[in-house]
Amino acid sequence: MDALIIIDVQNDFCTGGALAVPGSEEVVPRINAVSSNFALTAATQDWHPPGHISFASAHGETPGKTIGLPSGPQMLWPDHCVQGSPGADFHPELNLKPVSLIIRKGTRPKMDSYSAFLENDHSTSTGLAACLKSLGVTKVFLCGLATDYCVYFSAMDAVAAGFETAVIENAVRGVNIPEGSITAAVETMKKNSIQFVKL
């Protein structure tokens, strides 16, 4: 069985949001066009508590700096997707009717979570892999935001969890921070047997 995983199509990652991804709204109609074609559609949602460890403001730093944490290197971002805020809501035009599972991530104050499958210590599970396997899912298709972070880490962890993995290349957009990160992420994914498809 195939599953679609919609990654972080939230207001703060769209135009006018705290961490807007260039071209983000372009993914919404494409996702809406394909989401009902899958036996299972899941969506992830960044859901950070105030003062989250990934926020530059929590460290008195400026966004874009990388610091060391026990869970590994951490890029610092503007405050975004704070629990219960309008910025954390899904994009209003995203059709959620086909979505039967929502995974909220980045909920721990002291640990970030880019991946839909594992938190940034690369060992703490979100429970998604076990859930998909229990339902008989063998292949996952990923779309959403952002190509070089949450889509990338989700795809890599999906492969590691044993799923055949594809990225819908016309339904993802990246931040490209630092410059060249989108190209590097795509190249790494392809080297790890992740397919790139257009739907």
150: CATH: 3.40.50.850
Interval 17-24 mean pLDDT: 96
Interval 10-25 mean pLDDT: 97
Which range among 24-38, 61-75, 126-140 shows the weakest confidence by mean pLDDT?
61-75
- Tell me the two tokens of residue 180: 């060249």
Q: Name residue 15's amino acid.
A: T
Given a cut of 90, is residue 78 above it in pLDDT?
Answer: yes
Q: How far apart are CA 45 and CA 49, in angstroms?
A: 13
pLDDT tier for residue 184 given thresholds of 50, 70 and 90: very high
2 noted as active-site residue: no
Interval 29-34 mean pLDDT: 98
Contact 39, 1 (CB under 8 A): yes
Q: Please name the residue that has the structure tokens 């044993």.
A: 162
12 noted as active-site residue: no
Q: Please name the residue that has the structure tokens 């594809």.
A: 166
Structural domain count of the chain: 1
- Of 46, 81, 105, 143, the active-site residue reads 105
pLDDT value of position 82: 98
Given a cut of 90, is residue 197 above it in pLDDT?
Answer: yes
- Of 8, 12, 79, 112, the active-site residue reads 8
Q: How far apart are CA 40 and CA 132, in angstroms?
A: 9
Residue 188 in 3-state DSSP?
Answer: helix
Q: Which of 154, 187, 164 is nearest to 8 (CA)?
A: 154
pLDDT value of position 176: 94
Given a cut of 90, is residue 28 above it in pLDDT?
Answer: yes
Interval 6-32 mean pLDDT: 97
Q: Which residues face 62 on adjacent strands? A: none
Burial class, 100, CB count within 10 angstroms (exposed 0-12 / middle 13-18 / buried 19+): middle
pLDDT value of position 71: 83
- What integer best gives the mean pLDDT of the chain? 96
Q: Please name the residue that has the structure tokens 């959620």.
A: 96
Query: What is the domain range of residue 92?
Result: 2-197
Residue pLDDT, tens place only, 98-150: 999 999 999 999 999 999 999 999 999 999 999 999 999 999 999 999 999 99
89 noted as active-site residue: no
- Of 14, 79, 150, 157, the active-site residue reads 150
